[in-house]
């Protein structure tokens, strides 16, 4: 029997050509199988503890080379068995995945486990090699903290994920990669040479697919083609974007990934380009899949935040390092970031195929790039006009209302809001509620009344500023709506400014005795309030106990500066922190946010008088359009856009 229309060779099931290919295939993958099995019966993979005791860089790299050869044998056997099953067992349709027989099933499971084990071992060896390399090369110490520390609390990519993706996605999923079956692989369906090595053909096909993955950093014309495909009718003769800008940006991201990852670092040595790296025998399918994970997932945002090079440092030869034909820099970028740079480097989903579109709650990562308050405001303003998803602290709804729009308008105004907190209670929980505590007075029970005020936390420009002055005046003028605490980082000690001076606390409670009553006829609260969290405690924390509740210390914002995810953790310049509390207890922070945003609009002259929804919509539309034009002033006219107006 044979899949081609040629007669079978005498004594065999296949024609002469396919029988020769079959023999070559089986001999090659069975030889690889012997190498794999000999590892367990002879030379064992080193343990993590043994690897940590390595002290010689040359011997460590030699050990890594040996493990790569072992991985190559596993890969060859897996490919050989897959081709054997798909091509010569005659089950199912050609080049699909028919059911494996029991022998192949068992062996594939064994190989999968061995591959995961070997990849983990190789990762450990290469990480140790990087430690030894840094120890032998003074001046490269800056690499290690970036490579090793998980400062953003990202979930690490497991080896199982990488290996599974390598076996599933790269060889078979044409939707994820630019090419379908390569010409060499298509030849397997038709006539071929008798001495053709099918495993080698498959490996070459995979290399072609790997090059397709790296097209974003190897083809400088890619972005121009994507622009033409996305906008075929865009023929503005006055403007043609330079595709090299976005190409260089993506190359910089990729170089950072390669440089700061121990699995990639040594493979980039003596390589002059990304193509040179991919075509090297040491660069595997698993490497390509890991690169894709790092480039596409949140790790890229962290990588971007470590991006510190700039044209101003082109002459700093001591601070630059050549990787795959280009430079990365270890010195800090100190100049302001242009609006075009924010747009092109971070938020451009069209040109970067949405690979860089960041998820919610990663704003703190980009603060590392900001060198002054204007940088931070511009960054948040780009998010406010729709180029970043809203943070979850302002997107949580209560009665179908959220604080997304007010937070955007505050960002556009220059007020940085990084958290909103409230504990709205249902109507039956507002006011005194009965407890199970025994009362001293006969015929009475103990009632408890609790107040929790919503608040917002953020920062203003620390330097004297006309908008700051006007905004704070608006807040001072409404003690019936706002209670404010400010703290400048340049002031000594814990000096704060509070207004009004008799500000109500963020949280307080009291107990009193009164006769039992229905919810509709609850008694009026009385007695002394017990403050559990003052307005200043929001900044500096407290250990104050709440009666009847276990004592859990509350850490204020400024006591928890190193917390992963805190917006200001990596800030490089002083700011004036601000806490704005609601005067009305137990209501959602969206109401406070709307009132604060209205105060910011009034401070800029966009609104007058008391808050009304139609006036707020009209004023915020003016601000939105003005700031959008400023942020996108560098773009050509045909790139301009108009947002739907709230007033409509």
Task: Kindly tell me if the per-residue pLDDT of 300 is higher than 80.
Answer: no
**Which among 160, 190, 213 is the end of a domain?**
213
Contact 627/412 with Cβ under 8 angstroms?
yes
**Which among 344, 364, 389 is the end of a domain?**
389
Looking at the structure, do residues 432 and 356 belong to the same domain, yes or no?
no
Looking at the structure, do residues 237 and 328 belong to the same domain, yes or no?
yes
Per-residue pLDDT band at 166 (split at 50, 70, 90): confident
Looking at the structure, do residues 268 and 288 belong to the same domain, yes or no?
yes
Report, as an integer, the average pLDDT of 359-373: 82
State the Cα–Cα distance between residues 100 and 485, nearest whole angstrom. Answer: 69
Phi-psi region of 176 (alpha: psi -120 to 50; beta: other; left: phi over 0): alpha
Query: Is there a domain that residue 641 lies in?
Result: yes
Task: Kindly tell me if the per-residue pLDDT of 353 is higher than 50.
Answer: no
DSSP state letters, 211-233: HHHTHHHH-TTHHHHHHHHH-TT
Looking at the structure, do residues 378 and 452 belong to the same domain, yes or no?
no
Task: Kindly tell me if the per-residue pLDDT of 171 is higher than 60.
Answer: no
Cis, peptide link before residue 500, omega less than 30° from 0: yes
State the Cα–Cα distance between residues 609 and 620, nearest whole angstrom. Answer: 15
Looking at the structure, do residues 411 and 495 belong to the same domain, yes or no?
yes
Higher pLDDT: 480 or 324? It is 480
Look at residue 328 and give its three-state secondary structure: strand
| Structure confidence at residue 188 (pLDDT) | 42
Task: Kindly tell me if the per-residue pLDDT of 302 is higher than 60.
Answer: no
| Structure confidence at residue 170 (pLDDT) | 45
Tell me the per-residue pLDDT of 374-406, one tens digit each, with 9 for 90 and over.
999 998 998 888 777 888 888 887 777 889 999
- Tell me which H or E stretch contains 108: helix 102-136
Could you list the residue range(s) of the whole structural domain that residue 627 is in? 611-648
Report, as an integer, the average pLDDT of 257-279: 84
Per-residue pLDDT band at 608 (split at 50, 70, 90): very high
Task: Kindly tell me if the per-residue pLDDT of 515 is higher than 80.
Answer: yes
Tell me the per-residue pLDDT of 172-213, one tens digit each, with 9 for 90 and over.
433 333 333 344 444 444 445 656 667 777 777 778 888 888
Looking at the structure, do residues 401 and 352 belong to the same domain, yes or no?
no
Report, as an integer, the average pLDDT of 524-537: 88
Looking at the structure, do residues 423 and 365 belong to the same domain, yes or no?
no
| Structure confidence at residue 320 (pLDDT) | 72
| Structure confidence at residue 227 (pLDDT) | 67
- Tokens 């210390």, residue located: 553
Looking at the structure, do residues 361 and 227 belong to the same domain, yes or no?
yes
Task: Kindly tell me if the per-residue pLDDT of 512 is higher than 60.
Answer: yes
Looking at the structure, do residues 543 and 645 belong to the same domain, yes or no?
no
Query: Is there a domain that residue 166 lies in?
Result: no
Contact 450/511 with Cβ under 8 angstroms?
no
- CA trace torsion 72, 78, 79, 85 (10° rounding): 160
- How confident is the prediction for the chain on average, in pLDDT? 77
Task: Kindly tell me if the per-residue pLDDT of 311 is higher than 60.
Answer: no
Angle between helices 16-41 and 198-213 (to 10 degrees): 80
Report, as an integer, the average pLDDT of 304-323: 53
| Structure confidence at residue 183 (pLDDT) | 42
| Structure confidence at residue 257 (pLDDT) | 83
- Of 4-13, 88-97, 154-163, 217-226, which gets the smallest average pLDDT? 88-97
> Mapped to the 3 state alphabet, what secondary structure does 123-137 carry?
HHHHHHHHHHHHHHC
Query: Is there a domain that residue 163 lies in?
Result: no
Looking at the 3D structure of the chain, how many domains does it have? 4
| Structure confidence at residue 457 (pLDDT) | 96
> Cα-flanking dihedrals φ and ψ of residue 256, to 5°?
-60, -45
- Of 26-40, 291-305, 308-322, which gets the smallest average pLDDT? 308-322
Task: Kindly tell me if the per-residue pLDDT of 99 is higher than 80.
Answer: no
Higher pLDDT: 358 or 544? It is 544
| Structure confidence at residue 383 (pLDDT) | 85
Report, as an integer, the average pLDDT of 456-474: 95
Higher pLDDT: 583 or 335? It is 583
Query: Is there a domain that residue 165 lies in?
Result: no
**Which among 370, 389, 408 is the end of a domain?**
389
Q: Judge if pTM exceeds 0.75.
A: no
| Structure confidence at residue 185 (pLDDT) | 45
Task: Kindly tell me if the per-residue pLDDT of 354 is higher than 60.
Answer: no
Query: Is there a domain that residue 568 lies in?
Result: yes
Looking at the structure, do residues 104 and 239 belong to the same domain, yes or no?
no
Long-range CB contacts for residues 381-384, cutoff 8 Å, separation at least 24 = 381/411, 381/412, 381/627, 381/631, 382/339, 382/342, 382/343, 382/346, 382/347, 382/631, 383/408, 383/411, 384/408, 384/409, 384/411, 384/412, 384/627
Looking at the structure, do residues 238 and 358 belong to the same domain, yes or no?
yes
Per the structure block, which two tokens stand in for 317? 């030869």
| Structure confidence at residue 598 (pLDDT) | 97
Per-residue pLDDT band at 97 (split at 50, 70, 90): very low
Task: Give the best-scoring range by mean pLDDT among 67-76, 77-86, 448-457.
Answer: 448-457
Per-residue pLDDT band at 647 (split at 50, 70, 90): low
Report, as an integer, the average pLDDT of 98-107: 65
Query: Is there a domain that residue 638 lies in?
Result: yes
Looking at the structure, do residues 513 and 378 belong to the same domain, yes or no?
no
> Cα-flanking dihedrals φ and ψ of residue 5, to 5°?
-95, 15
State the Cα–Cα distance between residues 273 and 278, nearest whole angstrom. Answer: 9
| Structure confidence at residue 343 (pLDDT) | 61
Query: Is there a domain that residue 99 lies in?
Result: yes
Query: Is there a domain that residue 159 lies in?
Result: no
């Amino acid at each position: 029997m044979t899949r081609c229309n040629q007669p079978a060779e005498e004594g065999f099931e296949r024609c002469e050509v396919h029988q020769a290919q079959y023999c070559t295939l089986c001999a090659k993958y069975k030889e690889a199988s012997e190498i794999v099995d000999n590892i367990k019966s002879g030379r064992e993979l080193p343990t993590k503890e043994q690897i940590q005791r390595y002290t010689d860089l040359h011997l460590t790299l030699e050990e890594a080379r040996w493990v790569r050869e072992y991985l190559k044998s596993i890969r060859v056997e897996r490919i050989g068995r897959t081709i054997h099953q798909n091509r010569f067992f005659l089950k199912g349709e050609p080049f699909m995945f028919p059911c494996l027989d029991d022998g192949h099933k068992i062996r594939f499971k064994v190989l999968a486990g061995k591959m995961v084990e070997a990849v983990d071992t190789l990762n450990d060896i290469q990480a140790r090699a990087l430690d030894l390399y840094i120890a032998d090369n003074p001046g490269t110490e800056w690499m290690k903290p970036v490579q090793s520390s998980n400062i953003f609390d990202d979930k690490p990519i497991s080896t199982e994920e990488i290996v599974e993706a390598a076996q599933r996605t790269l060889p078979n999923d044409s939707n994820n990669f630019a090419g379908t079956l390569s010409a060499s692989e298509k030849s397997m369906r038709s006539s071929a040479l008798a001495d053709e090595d099918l495993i080698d053909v498959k490996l070459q096909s995979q290399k072609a697919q790997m090059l397709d993955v790296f097209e974003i950093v190897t083809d400088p014309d890619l972005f121009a083609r994507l622009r033409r495909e996305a906008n075929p009718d865009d023929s503005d003769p006055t403007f043609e974007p330079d595709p090299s800008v976005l190409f260089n940006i993506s190359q910089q991201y990729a170089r950072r990934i390669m440089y700061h990852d121990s699995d990639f670092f040594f493979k980039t040595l003596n390589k002059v380009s990304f193509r040179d790296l991919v075509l090297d025998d040491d660069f595997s399918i698993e490497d390509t899949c890991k690169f894709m994970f790092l480039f596409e997932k949140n790790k890229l945002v962290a990588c971007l935040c470590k991006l510190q090079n700039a044209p101003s440092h082109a002459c700093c030869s001591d601070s630059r390092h050549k990787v795959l034909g280009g430079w990365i820099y270890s010195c800090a970028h100190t100049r302001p970031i242009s609006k075009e740079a924010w747009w092109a480097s971070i938020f451009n989903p069209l040109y970067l195929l949405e690979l860089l579109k960041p998820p919610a709650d990663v704003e703190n990562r980009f603060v590392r790039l900001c060198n002054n308050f204007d940088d931070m405001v511009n960054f948040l303003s780009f998010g406010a006009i729709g180029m970043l998803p809203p943070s979850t602290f302002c997107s949580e709804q209560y009665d179908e209302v959220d604080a997304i729009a007010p937070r955007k308008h505050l960002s556009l105004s220059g007020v940085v809001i990084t958290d909103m907190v409230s504990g709205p209670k249902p109507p039956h929980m507002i006011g005194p509620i009965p407890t199970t505590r025994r009362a001293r007075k006969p015929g009475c029970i103990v009632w408890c009344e609790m107040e929790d005020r919503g608040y917002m936390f953020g920062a203003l420009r620390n330097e004297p500023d006309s908008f700051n002055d006007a905004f704070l005046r608006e807040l001072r003028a409404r003690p019936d709506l706002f209670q404010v605490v400010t703290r400048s980082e340049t002031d000594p000690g814990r000096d704060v400014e509070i207004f009004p001076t008799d500000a109500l606390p963020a949280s307080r409670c009291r107990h009193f005795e009164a006769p039992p009553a229905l919810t509709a006829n609850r008694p009026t609260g009385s007695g002394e309030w017990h403050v559990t969290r003052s307005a200043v405690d929001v900044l500096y924390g407290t250990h104050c106990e709440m009666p009847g509740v276990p004592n859990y210390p509350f850490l204020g914002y400024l006591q928890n500066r190193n917390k992963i995810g805190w917006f200001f953790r990596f800030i490089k310049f002083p700011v004036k922190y601000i806490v704005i509390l609601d005067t009305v207890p137990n209501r959602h922070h969206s109401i406070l946010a709307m009132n604060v945003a209205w105060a910011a609009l009034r401070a800029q002259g966009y609104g007058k008088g008391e808050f009304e929804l139609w006036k707020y919509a009209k004023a915020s539309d003016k601000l939105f359009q003005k700031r959008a034009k400023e942020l996108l002033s560098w773009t050509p006219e045909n790139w301009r856009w108009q947002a739907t107006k709230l007033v409509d």
